[in-house]
Structure 1
Amino acid sequence: MISLQLKVLLVDDEQICLDAIKASLSTFNYISIAGEADNGTDAVKFLQNHEVDLIFLDIDMKDINGFELAKHIQYHYPDIMIIFLTGYAGFALKGYEYRPVDFLTKPVNLLRLEQALSRVKELKGHNKPAKEVKIGINVEGGFEIINVKDISYIEKRGRKICIICENGEIFNCRDSLQKLEHIFSEHSFFRSHQSFLVPIEKIKSIRIDDFKRSYLMQLKDKKEELPLSRDKYNELKELLLQRGIKFY
């Protein structure tokens, strides 16, 4: 069995507190300190370039308080778990709207820290990577076995139905886009336009087009923008809300 390792970011504007929590965490061999930040701005920059599983986050900081930073993390990095650190127990009631794993009062008690980390491990264990799913696609002369997660999007180009993969491969499918919509619906693909099917989890941004008649989407790791029909916009937004993505 592979042991669970947790990459942790520490955020506190007092160095003595950073040193204290770091020393306490050194007791746990499954914890890896990915980085430290003494202000919210540096924490945001760190998250843009590093993978983190868990953040120990001070609430009362000078530039960006912990609640504001938690709101940013919740929106942009919903898989990162948060444990709030505070010198004031009264902050806890307000902070629960940000769905932290726990609140720890400074100075941190080692037994309470162990309880909080056990909860993190339990939650992390429930978020196991999705099993790879492969599908046999009907192409000229037979079938092509494709890993679903490798598909960037599916597009109807004239009479051809093209399956565009992450590595640049394109497969011409003999099935209709309507049939593919039915096949891929259970894998969270969305009919964004009469000519496009896109995996919801790969949508990076949505913006209105220059003529303000419809919308454009950008997918992760793709430069080109794909169309989103105006009548599909609200449906997609509702699906994203169901997945825990908040819009402000």
Structure 2
Amino acid sequence: MTPLRVLTVDDELLALKRLRLLLQTMPHIHHVGEANNCGDAVARIHDLRPNVVLLDIKMRDGSGFEVVEAVAERPNPPAIVFVTAFDQFATQAFDCAIVDYLLKPVESDRLARALSRVQQRLKAIDAEQRADELHQILRNLRSGPGTEGAQGYETEFWLRSSSGLVRVPVDAIDYVTSADEYISIHTPSGSHLMRGSIRQFTHRVEPGLFVRVHRRWLVKRSAIAALSTRPIGRAEVVLRSGQRLPAGRVHMKQLRDLVRSNDGRSLY
């Protein structure tokens, strides 16, 4: 079997290292190189002529879509596998049935399945068809119906679960907690991990929907029923579901005002 020539593109050095180590363990795979920005990626695709590019979507100097656009006109363009930290655009691309995607952190078995899919795809279509598909990706992602709100804010997230990707509407999220490089999204039906920070999450959703109750806790305003003060003086946020979450002292004034403005209910 002819080795599959793979180029990896990501602006995170640890992500590149992880991909490099995983690829080294896989038969019939030749890792031809890597790039950590969009401009370098386009140049290396031209020089190294990989069969497939594992391409990050959001990078410091631009978007992976810009790389796709730059190489779509080239003869014999590579197959593209998007790499993303749960970005909704990758799910859109996958729904077009023309590319695959990998979720960070990339797992060995998922990477192997993606590359197997690429190998089958390359056998089935020629270079001209691949070029047409790259153009179709761009058309679908730019002009198709998006998952963002009217002002550019997210209305849903596609998050990883044990059974694959699940759609989680922002309206279904009760609270968010931070955990190292990830946040945990909590809904009545379960919890899901998402790469990023609470600060990044607040920038992606409509302002005012969530309120900070603790350094590591963010709660949807409409999910708050009341505040409770324990005998030992510790304050808690009581959700409409009955769940109790710790409340930091620096956030108490804002929380009291919020609870009273919601329905006139006071502390108990």
- Per the normalisation by structure 1, the TM-score is 0.48
